[in-house]
Chains A and B, each alone.
Chain A
Amino acid sequence: MSALETKNRDELFTPEIRAEIDHEIAKYPESESQSASMAALRIIQDANGGWLTQERMDEVAAYLELPPIAIYEVATFYSMYEHKPVGRNKLCVCTNISCMINNSDQIVEHLNNKLGIKFGEVTEDGRYSLKEVECLGACGGAPMMQVGRKYYENLTPEKLDSILDELE
């Protein structure tokens, strides 16, 4: 490992981050620390601006003493891990049936027009990115979206405008 890579890793793997990952590892039986791979990837992704690079994945693998492939498999199987830069606010819009029949198309169109981006894209200022997601289990509040850890339900174009203004 080069000196530069070591430095990067140490910068990211702060004592706080290590403690957070170690807390996850402790949930599982000894010798089963692979179980913490999903949580470790989530923690590192959050610390890395919301997305993962191969270097970051390799570091997670090294920390958990796993072959890198075990981490790549997990990081590419689950939809919440990102492999390209995302906006500071990742707008995850549900377009599944209950949302679709409650005009999620209109929500998506409004976001497309207002932000000038499509699904999978980031605004130039890095403030927002758009992502199409599958049912998030809040169909009673359709149409809905998730931003960060929060759900926004019963969306309308007007409501969207005020939500977007509040997101830094």
Chain B
Amino acid sequence: MANEVIFKNRDLDNLWDIEQYRSRGGYEVLTKILTEKTSPAEIIDGMKTSGLRGRGGAGFPTGLKWSFINRDTPTEKYLVCNSDEGEPGTFKDRDILRYNPHALVEGMLIASYVIDAHRAYNYIRGEFWEPSERFQNAIDQARAAGFVGKNILGSGFDCELNVHLGGGAYVCGEETALLESIEGKKGQPRYKPPFPAHVGLYGCPTVINNTETLASVPTILREGAEKFRDLGVENSGGSKLFSISGHVKNPGVFELPMGTPFSELFELAGGMRDGSKIKAVIPGGSSSPVIPGEIMMDLTMDYDAIAKAGSMLGSGAVIVMDDTTCMVKVLDRMGYFYHEESCGQCTPCREGTGWLYRIVHRLENGQGRPEDIDLLMDVQNRIRGKTICALGDAAAMPVAGMLRYYQDEFQYHIDHKKCMVGTGA
């Protein structure tokens, strides 16, 4: 049941070429919608039925998000695709841009039609230069075929698609920071409310969806919302791209139905590298709390199962670590990342991420103090829920996760001024 949606036609050599994409029904559903003038409400109902939830990490139901836009407001509306893939461990959207860019173009056009947007932007992280060229080429081909621009297929519907390249800032993956960035400003998140559906890009109603979310839309509408929904499990419809990296033999991106046992994904990735034993798994990008390997082996990959285990499915980015991995060192690196990437707007995050990093860093370097574990818990608690955007929570949550399962390693660093891994302790 793998590769049912995004990677469905991956067997084609040049799926990024419009002729190849069209040879398997590409742009058919867009054509049908525009020529039959399908009502936007009907498409939204289909998306709701499909159970598709935002694949960027937050998991917000896509159909519901689209329904928040009031098409009758006289102002412009905008559709924005978030290809600012930057959550450590995540590398699925890059593959969509590289291998199936037309699914994204078609998905963006359908979403634009639904919310009556005449301009849509794909915000692609600046480092993804080569994938962005492939995506731009897909736009150009789609325009030449009459799917982009004025009066698409004679329907009277106009839509321009453009790429906006980022400049290297993790926080721009946060949707309102991303909007600031498209407006040509530094990427500092906005207060919500007002939500982007009311006040978004240039102050106009805006929908922001993840790359994988939008690229799923054509297949869902072409093959049926129920079919997509039934691939997955309750509350987690459809299939999902999982990026698996770390100490597995064959890291990569795998498309599997939601609710697939982790053990199956693990097996697809070839299991552990020769001779090593699984220790821990970060199940949904670096912001999601770590789960010990033996617990992970009994979990399924869907929103509810991972949440019940105290973590998050997030972007579906799975980092597998073997028993040579020092959890203090891992948290040290994560702490540095969040401190580096905090936009500096909210005091608890700007200062708190610095505290977290400095404390874990001294622990890692054998300079830990007896009070440091309590201090870490205290600091992460002072960040959580007290910032404008989720970056603060994202920095705090892994700390509590690490201390939940691996406090002994942190204590060992304090007591012995060195690492516990490999000592047999």
Contact = CB atoms under 8 A, between A and B. Distances in A.
Q: Are A and B part of the same complex? A: yes
Interface of A: 27-29, 32, 34-39, 41-42, 70, 73-74, 77-81, 92, 95-98, 100-102, 133-142, 146, 149-151
A139 B76 CA distance: 38
Most buried by B among A100, A140, A146: A140
List the 4 closest A-B pairs by CB distance, nearest first: A78-B167, A79-B168, A77-B186, A139-B245
Contacts of B411: none
A129 B141 CA distance: 38
Interface in B110-141: 119, 121, 125-130
Contact of B202 (A32, A36, A79, A139): A32
Interface string B75-87: 0100000000111
Nearest to B188: A77
Label chain A's interface by main secondary structure: mixed
9 contacts: A38-B181, A77-B186, A78-B186, A95-B333, A97-B286, A135-B86, A135-B90, A137-B94, A139-B243
A137 B90 contact: yes
Contacts of A29: 76, 119, 202
Nearest to A37: B184
Given A137-B90, A137-B94, A137-B128, A98 B319 contact: yes
Given A36-B184, A139-B90, 20 more contacts: A41-B167, A74-B186, A77-B167, A77-B169, A78-B166, A78-B187, A79-B167, A95-B333, A98-B251, A133-B168, A134-B86, A134-B170, A135-B90, A137-B94, A137-B125, A138-B91, A139-B243, A139-B319, A140-B245, A149-B129
Contacts of A27: 121, 162-164
Contacts of B88: 96-98, 134-135, 139
Most buried by B among A28, A36, A41, A101: A101
A97 B282 CA distance: 10
B364 interface: no
Contacts of B89: 97-98, 135, 139
B183 interface: yes
A74 B330 contact: no
Contacts of A74: 167, 184-186
Interface of B: 76, 85-91, 93-94, 119, 121, 125-130, 162-170, 181-187, 202, 243-247, 251-253, 282, 286, 317, 319, 321, 325, 329-330, 333-334, 337, 340-341, 343
B317 A38 contact: no
Nearest to A75: B167
A38 to B, nearest CB: 5
Nearest to B285: A135
A31 B377 CA distance: 48
Contacts of A136: 127
Contacts of B246: 97-98, 101-102, 139
Contacts of A96: 88, 286, 333, 337
A32 B169 CA distance: 22
A36 B183 CA distance: 8
